[in-house]
């Protein structure tokens, strides 16, 4: 053999070694198959991906690493690819497909494919990439975006309800009341965002909600370090805001000599007791009627937090005692039993029927109750938890329709929807979500988006009541 031939042979050997090194060091799985779709090359990355040794894979059909339900489609695709005569298709062009590990576990992969003729034999090479982590990240981002959308629309719904329910003797007073309540919501959301929606410090909430309404030393706050749960931050902020604004208008903070003793403690049974005690202000007389502020305090505290609010009016100053369950400030999610508000027979107008209302936002529930009752409905509820809704179902033999919030403080309403469906009770969803899960199952139940248009809500209720539980079309409205 001449020097030229020996040199060419060495170059070929070196080129082969370099190619083998590249294939062996590649982070993506590389598999080459012959015309019978049997494996002739299986690199180390493929060994790791499919949890099988190279010597076990060589000579095996590539379909071994494809879930059985996809094998026929895969074989047909490879056949079409060979017949088309194209040399390759880029990564991802085949779409997301599933691989099958040796232990039977399926996982998502992306693939590119190329083919070449070698000594009259056509070989196809696939490069595979495990996209399990990427898909998980994408799903997490979608879930986050969906949750942000839900939170934003719920916040707008609360603001809409505050505007609708606020009353005042003048335009200026109305604007001031609404602005104060919306600002309290904004401060609550800021605290939650700063803590990545894990809750907020009770002392800081009190400081921020009372700072603008007092002179130095007028409010004496004292209590242990308490981190409120996320769903308690907004209600507590609103309660403190209402108490402070009432005190500056009519109570102890309306004079320079008045004070507020604001203290809280954890009771032996694990509940949180919060006391607001005014003194030194004008003489207090118990009002004959309750305004929206006091209604908001008692309703939000009792219904949304599952606690109890007691307001007394001794002459020396108003006293408010709030007892809140352990679930409002510790990571313990035991079910809180909340008494349902009695439904009220409308004073005038024909009856539309009995409607079950399920809504965990107390202020939104107040407004929905009022709108439904004014339209002639008899409201059962509102229920703020699934447990409370189940109890109401057991207590009422006949329900004509239901209005369901989708997310009840992290608890999805779908199990209740399934029960209503089996009982033939038509229902609609009133939610901040754009769509509901399991759309096909609930295709007959409309979705009214928050913030709610009451005209749309009433129209959809009448429509599903007239059509029956399986005639309405699932279309986002509002």
Burial 218-233 (b: 16+ CB within 10 A, else e): bbeeebeebbbbbbbb
Query: What residues pair up with 259 in beta bridges, in sequence order?
Result: 279
Residues in the chain: 478
Q: What is the pLDDT of residues 81-103, one digit of tens each?
A: 666 655 555 545 555 588 889 88
What is the model's pLDDT at position 348? 38
Long-range CB contacts (within 8 A, 24+) of 137-140: none
In terms of DSSP bridges, do strands 272-279 and 319-324 run parallel, antiparallel, or are they unpaired? antiparallel
Q: How many CB atoms lie within 10 A of CB 33?
A: 23
Asked whether residue 472 carries a pLDDT value surpassing 50, the answer given is no
pLDDT for position 21: 77
Q: Give residue 96's region: left, alpha or beta (phi > 0; psi -120 to 50).
A: beta
Identify the band that residue 175 occupies on the pLDDT scale cut at 50, 70 and 90. Answer: confident
pLDDT score of 453 more than 80? no
For the chain, what percent of residues have pLDDT higher than 70? Answer: 84
452, burial (CB in 10 Å: exposed 0-12, middle 13-18, buried 19+): buried
Which CATH code for domain 353-477? Answer: 3.40.50.2300
**What are the residue ranges of CATH 3.30.450.20 in the chain?**
20-130
Residue-wise pLDDT for 341-359, tens only, equals: 333 333 333 457 899 999 9
Reported as a pLDDT band with limits 50, 70 and 90, residue 52 is very high
In terms of average pLDDT, the best of 13-17, 185-189, 344-348, 368-372 is 368-372
Instruction: Say how far apart CA 189 and CA 187 lie, in whole Å.
Output: 5
Q: What residues does CATH 3.40.50.2300 cover in the chain?
A: 353-477
The pLDDT of residue 43 is above 50:
yes
Is residue 127 pLDDT above 50, yes or no? yes
Where does the chain hold its CATH 3.30.565.10 domain(s)?
166-328
Q: How far apart are CA 219 and CA 115, in angstroms?
A: 80
Residues 397-436 as b/e (b if ≥16 CB within 10 A, e otherwise) read: eebbbbbbbbbbbebebbebbeebbeeebbbbbbbbbeeb
Stretch 207-217: mean pLDDT, rounded? 81
Nearest to 186 by CA among 150, 159, 168, 146: 159
**Mean of the per-residue pLDDT values for the chain?**
82
Distance CA(93)–CA(108), nearest Å, equals: 14
| pLDDT at site 346 | 35
Express each pLDDT in 303-324 by its tens digit.
788 899 999 999 999 999 999 9
More confident residue, 27 or 262: 262
Q: Residue 70 and residue 68: Cα distance in Å, rounded?
A: 5
Per-state percent for the chain, helix, strand, coil, to nearest 5: 45, 20, 35
Residue 379 has pLDDT above 50, yes or no: yes
CATH architecture of the domain formed by 166-328: 2-Layer Sandwich (3.30)
Q: Is the pLDDT of residue 437 over 90?
A: no
| Residue 333, pLDDT score | 35
Round to whole Å and give the CA distance between 345 and 373: 7
Quote the pTM value: 0.57
Cα 420 off chain centre by: 22
DSSP H or E stretch at residue 5: helix 3-25
- The CATH number of domain 20-130 is 3.30.450.20: yes
Mean pLDDT of 428-434: 82
Measured CA to CA in angstroms, residue 472 lies from 214, 272, 399 at distances of 55, 46, 18
Average pLDDT for 231-246:
91
């Amino acid at each position: 053999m001449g020097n030229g031939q020996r040199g060419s042979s060495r170059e070929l050997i070196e080129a082969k070694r370099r190619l083998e090194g590249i294939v062996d060091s590649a982070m993506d799985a590389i598999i080459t198959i012959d015309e019978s779709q049997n494996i002739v090359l299986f690199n180390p990355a493929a060994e790791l991906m499919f949890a099988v040794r190279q010597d076990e894979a060589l000579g095996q059909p590539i379909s071994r690493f494809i879930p059985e339900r996809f094998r026929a489609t895969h074989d047909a695709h490879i056949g079409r690819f060979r017949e088309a005569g194209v040399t390759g298709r880029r990564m991802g062009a085949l779409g997301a497909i599933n691989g099958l590990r040796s232990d039977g576990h399926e996982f998502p992969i992306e693939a590119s494919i190329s083919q070449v003729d070698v000594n009259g034999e056509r070989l196809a090479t696939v490069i595979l990439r495990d996209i399990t982590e990427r898909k998980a990240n994408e799903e997490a981002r979608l879930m986050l975006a969906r949750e942000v959308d839900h939170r934003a629309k719920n916040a707008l719904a609360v603001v809409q309800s505050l505007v609708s329910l606020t009353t005042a003797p003048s335009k200026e007073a109305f604007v001031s009341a609404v602005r104060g309540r919306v600002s309290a919501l904004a401060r609550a959301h800021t605290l939650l965002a700063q803590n990545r929606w894990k809750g907020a410090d009770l002392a800081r909430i009190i400081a921020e909600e009372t700072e603008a309404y007092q002179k130095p030393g007028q409010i004496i706050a004292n209590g242990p370090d308490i981190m409120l749960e996320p769903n308690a931050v907004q209600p507590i902020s609103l309660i403190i805001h209402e108490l402070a604004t009432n005190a500056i208008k009519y109570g102890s903070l309306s004079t320079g000599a008045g004070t507020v003793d604001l203290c809280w403690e954890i009771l032996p049974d694990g509940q949180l007791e919060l006391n607001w005690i005014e003194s030194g202000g004008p003489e207090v007389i118990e009002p004959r009627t309750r305004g929206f502020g006091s209604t908001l305090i008692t309703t939000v505290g009792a219904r949304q937090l599952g606690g109890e609010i007691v307001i007394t009016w001794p002459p020396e100053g108003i006293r408010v005692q709030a007892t809140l369950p352990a679930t409002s400030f510790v990571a313990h999610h035991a079910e809180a039993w909340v008494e349902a508000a009695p439904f009220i027979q409308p004073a005038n107008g024909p009856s539309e029927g009995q409607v079950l209302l399920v809504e965990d936002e107390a202020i939104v529930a107040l407004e929905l109750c009022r709108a439904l009752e004014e339209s002639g409905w008899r409201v059962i509820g509102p229920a703020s938890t699934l447990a409370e809704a189940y109890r109401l179902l057991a207590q009422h033999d006949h329900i004509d329709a239901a209005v369901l919030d989708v997310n009840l403080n992290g608890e999805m309403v779908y199990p209740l929807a399934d029960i209503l469906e089996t009982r033939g009770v038509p229902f609609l969803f009133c939610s901040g979500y754009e769509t509901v899960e399991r759309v096909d199952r609930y295709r007959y139940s409309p979705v009214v988006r928050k913030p709610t248009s009451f005209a749309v809500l009433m129209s959809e209720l009448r429509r599903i009541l007239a059509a029956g539980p399986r005639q309405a079309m699932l279309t986002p409205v509002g």
